[in-house]
């Protein structure tokens, strides 16, 4: 795996040479934009809205609209001024229990691997976090931005989970709480959950969209007709028939078992 960042991981006076490797990947299909009329690739032009003429990339600048129709140009050096002091270090500022951190704060995971000479201190931090069931809360620079992150054990190595800041979390929407749930309804719902509870296996869930899309593209290229299946309409539970739906769900769960 190619490292996207290299530097040190520090706690106290201990500095461990490490590298960051992305822990996730996504599969996408690249599409070209074509003109429907002659199937020729479409070229995107950068048009000046005043003159109607195309603008060269070298003549394009970034601007921030501070009032309607009024802009201030922001140059590369302005972005540099706004960035915190450059650092090649993941600095653990404190330790906490993982259950104290709401999962909504976790954004993107990276594997932390030790660089040459850092294996022993890396193993020491990993074992200490495992023994104390703790995570390190740290700050680090990535792509000119400072991020808060959690450093924690994961399958025999350290993982860095980039986190969101408090101001990035939206307020929880209000939901009506006046609706009453009967004890019998709750009992049936709990039974249904218990009947459907099993050990989570992530390998059992597959993203089939890309594979199916490739099949559609291949069939269409061969001149075959593709029938689009109608989405399944599922009835929603109303207050009146909720008990009956719960009972039928339990029966279905027993048959499945």
Tens-place pLDDT, residues 37-76: 999 999 888 999 999 999 999 999 999 999 998 999 988 7
The encoded tokens of residue 121 equal 């201190």
Tokens of 112: 């932390």
Q: Has residue 185 got a pLDDT over 90?
A: no
Q: Is 133 left (phi over 0), alpha (psi -120 to 50) or beta?
A: left
Tokens of 66: 């501070």
Element of type H or E holding 193: helix 183-195
10: Cβ–Cβ under 8 A, 6 or more apart, which residues?
Answer: 16, 89, 90, 91, 92
Tell me the pLDDT tens digit for each residue of 106-145: 999 999 999 999 999 999 999 999 999 999 999 988 877 8
pTM equals 0.73
Q: Which of 141, 135, 137, 138 is nearest to 154 (CA)?
A: 135
- In the predicted structure, residue 229 carries a pLDDT above the cut 80: no
pLDDT at residue 165, rounded to an integer: 93
């Amino acid at each position: 795996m190619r490292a996207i960042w290299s530097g040190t991981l520090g706690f106290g006076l201990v500095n461990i040479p490490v590298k960051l490797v992305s822990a996730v990947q996504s599969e996408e299909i690249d599409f070209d934009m074509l003109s429907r009329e002659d199937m020729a690739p479409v070229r995107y032009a950068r048009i000046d809205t005043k003159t109607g003429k195309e603008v060269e990339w070298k003549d394009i600048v970034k601007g921030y609209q501070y009032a309607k129709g009024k802009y201030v140009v922001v140059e590369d050096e302005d972005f540099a001024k706004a960035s915190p002091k450059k650092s090649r270090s993941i600095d653990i500022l404190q330790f906490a229990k993982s259950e104290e951190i709401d999962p909504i704060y976790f954004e993107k995971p990276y594997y932390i691997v030790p660089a040459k000479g850092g294996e022993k201190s890396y193993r020491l931090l990993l074992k200490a976090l495992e023994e104390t069931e703790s995570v390190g809360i740290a700050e680090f620079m990535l792509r000119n931005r400072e991020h808060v992150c959690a450093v924690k054990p994961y399958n025999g190595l350290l993982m860095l989970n980039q986190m969101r800041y408090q101001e990035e979390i939206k307020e929880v929407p209000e939901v009506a709480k006046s609706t009453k749930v009967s004890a019998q309804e709750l009992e049936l719902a709990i039974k249904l959950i218990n009947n459907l509870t099993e050990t989570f296996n992530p390998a059992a869930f597959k993203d089939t969209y890309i594979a199916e899309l490739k099949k559609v593209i291949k069939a269409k290229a061969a001149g075959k007709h593709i029938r689009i299946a109608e989405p399944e309409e599922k009835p929603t539970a109303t207050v009146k028939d909720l008990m009956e739906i719960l009972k039928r769900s339990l029966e279905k769960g027993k048959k499945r078992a």
